[in-house]
Structure 1
Amino acid sequence: TVVKVVHGLWPARDAIAAGVIEVDLRGIQPGQNFVVKWRGKPVFVRRRTQAMIDAATADDAIVNSLRDPERDKDRVKKPEWLVMLGVCTHLGCVPYPDQGLYGGYFCPCHGSHYDHSGRIRLGPAPLNMEIPTYEFIDDDTIILG
């Protein structure tokens, strides 16, 4: 019947569950970049220091000159926490944290430089590092997916 066919198109429960993970933020120290695996990709969860936040928001003054213009406040839900896919938008390599000319992230494959907000500043990457779907369920926990 039509109902059985439509029901058969739904993903399996384990596939749905794999799309959502909970991340405990309590052990992440200021300045630390924590990595979790989500949907087969690394996700960077960075607890930013006040200096990192200040640098990212200061760069908002030049946002219109950026290749992919986004203000810091549009990339974070809380200023202290940056959550993004740890994948360079050029060819998919994993950037190094605390590297590069802007102190944020540096992709060793082809030399893309990202700032403290994961915005592309220099190099071949066409876009900022992607912000995944996530929500804070309390002060110490986020849900990805």
Structure 2
Amino acid sequence: MGEPTRRDFLYLATGMAGAVGVVSVAWPFIDQMRPDASTLALASIEVDVSSLEPGMSLTVKWRGKPVFIRNRTPEEVKAAEEVPMADLKDPLARNANLGTDATASDLDRSAGKGKENWIVMIGSCTHLGCVPLGQAGEYNGWFCPCHGSVYDTAGRIRKGPAPQNLAIPTYAFTSDKVIKIG
């Protein structure tokens, strides 16, 4: 191998110019795939639940979807706890705060020990994405009138065509009266 020639330099310079050109053309296409500021702002929300007495519900919007927050009565909690696991269509909790193998027990679907009365769920029917009606249906939970899916007070599918329990997003109580979703 000899000394580099002028031709070697021209090949190298042309290759570098081509690479810069490709990157400058491709960058706008790559950059447009990032989420915009309004989407990032919705990544998490804080909800004040201080006005929710037992038996009351609140629906908020998070990431373009309705989220049901319910302060269940002691009777609703007791009824949900007494449901045998064998009676459930979907045995999994579908709770983003727990492992994927968590069972659909009332405790695993609720906000956890000491806050069993609180339930937070994404309010989209798992059949076709309709928004179920609250405090309706045979189990006084949620009822999707579009195709007849019935959920109990823990958001577990009990009857109808829906294949899964209502999903539970990642959330945490930041204080006794504020829930951070996302």
TM above 0.5: yes
113, 125, 132: which one aligns with 2:169 = 132
Identity %: 51
Give distance in 1, aligned partners of 2:90 and 2:162. 10
1:102-133 per-residue CA deviation (whole Å, 9 max, x = no partner) reads 11111100001111100000000000011011
Task: Kindly state the Cα deviation for residue 16 of structure 1 after the two structures are TM-superposed.
Answer: 1.9
Give distance in 1, aligned partners of 2:90 and 2:153. 14
User: For residues 1-145 of structure 1, what are the structure 2 equivalents within 5 Å?
Assistant: 8=31, 11-59=35-83, 62-69=84-91, 70-77=104-111, 78-145=115-182
The answer on whether the counterparts of 2:127 and 2:161 sit within 8 Å (CA) in structure 1 is yes
TM-score scaled by structure 2? 0.71
Give distance in 2, aligned partners of 1:109 and 1:10. 35
Task: Kindly state the Cα deviation for residue 13 of structure 1 after the two structures are TM-superposed.
Answer: 4.4
Greater RCO (CA < 8 Å, at least 6 residues apart)? 1
Runs of 4+ in 1 over 4 A off after TM superposition: 7-10
Listed as ranges, the gaps of 5+ residues in structure 2 are 1-19, 92-103
Give distance in 2, aligned partners of 1:103 and 1:11. 39
- Aligned-partner SS, 2:79: helix
- Aligned-partner SS, 1:98: strand
Task: Kindly state the Cα deviation for residue 10 of structure 1 after the two structures are TM-superposed.
Answer: 5.3
Task: Kindly state the Cα deviation for residue 12 of structure 1 after the two structures are TM-superposed.
Answer: 4.3
Aligned residues: 140
Give distance in 2, aligned partners of 1:49 and 1:100. 17
Task: Kindly state the Cα deviation for residue 15 of structure 1 after the two structures are TM-superposed.
Answer: 2.5
The AA in structure 1 aligned to 2:41 is A
- Aligned-partner SS, 1:127: coil
Give distance in 1, aligned partners of 2:147 and 2:38. 36
Structure 1 range deviating more: 14-23 or 127-136: 14-23
Please say which structure displays the higher CA radius of gyration. 2
TM-score scaled by structure 1? 0.89
Listed as ranges, the gaps of 5+ residues in structure 1 are none
Give distance in 2, aligned partners of 1:93 and 1:17. 25
The answer on whether the counterparts of 2:69 and 2:118 sit within 8 Å (CA) in structure 1 is yes
Task: Kindly state the Cα deviation for residue 64 of structure 1 after the two structures are TM-superposed.
Answer: 3.0
